[in-house]
Structure 1
Amino acid sequence: MAFKIGLLGLGTVGAGTAQILLDPQGRHPLLQEIEIYRVGVRSLDKPRPVELPKGLLTTDLETIVTDPHVDIVVEVMGGLEPARSLILKAIANGKHVVTANKAVISRYGDEIFTAANQAGVYVMLEAAVGGGIPVIQPLKQALSVNRIHSVTGIVNGTTNYILSRMQTEGGEFSDILADAQQLGYAEADPTADVDGLDAADKMAILASLAFGERIKLPEIYCEGISKVSAADIAYAEKLGFAIKLLAIAKQDLPTPEKGTPDTETRNFAFLQVRVHPTLVPKTHPLASISGVYNAILVEGEPIGQVMFYGRGAGSGPTASAVVSDILNIAAILKSGGDAAKLHPLLSCSHQDYCANRQGRRFAIAPMEELVTRFYARFLTLDRPGVIGKLGTSFGNHHVSLESVVQTGIHGELAEIVVVTHDVREGNFRQALDEIRTLDTIDSIPSILRVL
């Protein structure tokens, strides 16, 4: 029995996927039963990095997702459309789907997984987060017996590469970004990466799986790295930190300080879901992750900490994840046939979402309720009593300072760096509003959270 694949896209990931499927020797023997049946591309004349048997290519992608001979549609073309429409049409035609498209899943997961459930087909997405790092399947299977407390990750290789070089070379963000673009580590339009949007797409997927909720992209607080300066990198180093763009999902149980919950949320735990540059203590496992590598740290009970590490992008790693999903579906079909019910450990645990629930188990915690430490850098007039005035303003809003350092003089301005103890973000922001009114404050160039 051969399982026929309809491959949508033959770019970097598509070509890597085809290369694995065309060369199954030394891999799992079931790969020998998987056949590339049709390949959809935008142009038939473009040079290809992989040699395919004649007659496989077509520019009519819709014929692939409706072809009765195709068992599994593999979408690696990227973008929102026509990828979303083709995935839905494949599902409507009874095809199982493997996708590497985190943007489509994070934005249209409700629609796609509801349709898949109704059609009785799988939608597999291991390659959508972390490239070749196996994290989706562990969250569905091995780790699903744990109560997950948090998922914290470096899930964007471009920003990690830029921040790593800023740390080792002392360069500014804009200069290293330009170099990363020339080297191919950053896109010509790097917005999705450097503004944190790519990481937010991935965290929407990870948080949904980890906490059994449909976390929607607009619910994720997102802040990029473009305002991180060489000065911040240097100060972080002196204070014993590395700056990383972190994607964080964390249970945050209700406390009296958060006020009295309304009737819609009183039975909920709160869930923090956020992406932002963060000062990470050098002793933390994520602090040493450098270059284009990704790492995802999962904490739960009773397992404790588990970290997944590896290349987060590229032809080989991402294609490995795509083919692993194909293999999983083929194994189920081989053992149970088309009539087999969806395997509960292969389908997403959040596929039911709220369809059969009276409501959500988690309320998304507003950022002003976040309790964390902060790093802030101030430029002030070089006058006596400035630090005292800063301390008074912070104290007025119940912000306790862990350290205050006057680091240097820039012309007539002094540079002061503070790190707080744990504080409610709303209180910290109120203190900053008061500080901005002081006549001795020139500007606040940097405000960063501390893990």
Structure 2
Amino acid sequence: MAPPLKIGIAGLGTVGAGVMRMLARRNDEIAARCGRAVEVVAVSARDRSRSRDCDLSSVRWAESPVALARDPGIDVFVELIGGSDGAAREAVAAALEAGKPVVTANKALLAHHGVALATLAEQNGAGIHFEAAVAGGIPIVKTLREALLGNRMARVSGILNGTCNYILTKMREEGLSFETCLAEAQQLGYAEADPSFDVDGFDTAHKLALLATLAFGVQPDPGAIHVEGIRSITLADLDAADELGYRVKLLGVAARAGDEVELRVHPTMVPKHWPIAQVSGVTNAVAVDGDAVALTLVGPGAGGDATASAVVGDLCDLAAARVSRPFGWPVARLRPAGKPAIQRHEGGYYIRLAAVDRPGTAAAIARHMAERNISLESIMQHRRGRPHGGDRADSAGGPAPVVLITYATTEEAVRRAIDAIEADGVITSPPQVIRIEKD
């Protein structure tokens, strides 16, 4: 049997300690199946005295992540520090320059600097392995990079942020407001004290940037993605979706649009019978549509054990000498993602208006829709909703919630119609618009 694969881990938080425990527990079987054991020989962390519930007695401590990356006694550098710049970026670059493969869970680093780091990897005969960076324990990176190479991808989409999915699930099931569910998510540790990165869609965008690179060969670029979060979603929207046969999910979508790739993150209504609509709580899901195979993968998107499992999977690939290009494509073949205007998006739309309750309002709304060739599939009007549902019409003459469902149309047409409706003064607050995905 070959000598052990010697690794150094930078970052001994929940994931790093989880990797240590998993390797200790599974190394005999890993060695048997991969042809060599995986041995942690060195580590780096800010606080050496912290209790981590793993055996560190036989490892040596490096002075810094960069020093660990350059350590001649390690074969593989594992980066679990986080952040798109600073120590994480410097250490990964140092490891690649030294010809050492890198295993990382750092989505932000690769989303912002993936092309430069992949170039370094190619130049120095090293590799970057990042299964843990997208969707936690779901093996979506290997699926796109290796298992589905026989397919021409049409679309990759998914629930990529457990915090948002937890909040939307809790709101729908228990009739609680966004603010209440967010506070509970923070108490449970699902959301940070500053939740903006999650609830405003940026975490999902970073992950989508990597999925788009794997599926379509575009350079990872979060700036090319249209991003909306879930702060505006109310119980009125969730109730209407339920009545219409949909669930509201924050989706990241990468889809072919002619010669371009449409990249967007936003709340989306999906049919209840779709597998992805039935994914609740902090669970993630990724749907892949190729010309030969369509599938949906569901599993834990975060957490120490799930992420550690993905890291160990990458280490096993290295132990077994299974090596792929970082993004599955030569760097020279990656093309700019561009930024197709969201105005060109085509699909169905849910539009909720707080309409003035007076004669002529409905006619004005219908006229502006017709003038832009928007056909309406249905119109709903409710006087009252659940508590906190938003836009309740509690008295005559107050705002009347009107919900419009359109047939396929363009984003530009919808926005122009809404601008005209607002200019007419027949609605009392900004409208809610949610895109609809259909069979």
Trace 1:348-427 onto structure 2 (pairs within 5 A). Answer: 348-354=327-333, 364-408=339-383, 409-411=393-395, 412-427=398-413
1:185 counterpart SS class: coil
1:10 counterpart SS class: coil
What is the identity, as a one-letter code, of the residue corresponding to 2:295? V
Distance, in Å, in 2 between the alignment partners of 1:274 and 1:407 is: 31
Trace 1:431-442 onto structure 2 (pairs within 5 A). Answer: 431-442=417-428
Distance, in Å, in 1 between the alignment partners of 2:15 and 2:59 is: 21
Aligned 8 A contact 1:137 1:346 in 2: no
Trace 1:115-134 onto structure 2 (pairs within 5 A). Answer: 115-134=120-139
TM-score, normalised via structure 1 length? 0.90
Of 167, 170, 174, 2:172 maps to 167
Shift of 1:312: 0.4
Shift of 1:364: 3.9
Aligned residue for 1:9?
11
Distance, in Å, in 1 between the alignment partners of 2:27 and 2:425 is: 72
Asked whether 1:320 is paired with 2:309, we answer: yes
Aligned 8 A contact 1:44 1:58 in 2: no
Distance, in Å, in 2 between the alignment partners of 1:189 and 1:353 is: 38
Trace 1:31-430 onto structure 2 (pairs within 5 A). Answer: 33-80=37-84, 81-253=86-258, 269-303=259-293, 305-332=294-321, 343=323, 345=324, 347-354=326-333, 364-408=339-383, 409-411=393-395, 412-430=398-416
Aligned 8 A contact 1:141 1:346 in 2: no
Change (3 A) 1:324 1:203: same
Aligned 8 A contact 2:279 2:285 in 1: yes
Aligned 8 A contact 1:31 1:327 in 2: no
What is the identity, as a one-letter code, of the residue corresponding to 1:438? D
Shift of 1:244: 0.2
TM-score, normalised via structure 2 length? 0.92
What is the identity, as a one-letter code, of the residue corresponding to 1:151? V
Distance, in Å, in 2 between the alignment partners of 1:381 and 1:77 is: 53
Aligned residue pair count: 421
Deviation per residue, 1:40-60 (Å, 9 max, x gap): 000112222322124533442
Deviation per residue, 1:118-144 (Å, 9 max, x gap): 011010000000101111011111111
1:224 counterpart SS class: coil
Which runs of 5 or more structure 2 residues have no equivalent in the other structure? 384-392
- Alpha-carbon RMSD across the aligned residues, in angstroms, is 1.6
Shift of 1:347: 4.0
Aligned 8 A contact 1:24 1:32 in 2: no
Distance, in Å, in 1 between the alignment partners of 2:35 and 2:165 is: 34
What is the identity, as a one-letter code, of the residue corresponding to 1:216? D
Aligned residue for 1:339?
none
Shift of 1:442: 1.1
What is the identity, as a one-letter code, of the residue corresponding to 1:426? E
Distance, in Å, in 1 between the alignment partners of 2:409 and 2:362 is: 19
Runs of 4 or more above 3 Å deviation:
none
Aligned 8 A contact 2:128 2:325 in 1: no
Shift of 1:252: 1.5
Aligned 8 A contact 1:214 1:353 in 2: no
2:331 counterpart SS class: coil
Aligned 8 A contact 1:71 1:96 in 2: yes
Shift of 1:352: 1.7
Change (3 A) 1:311 1:23: same
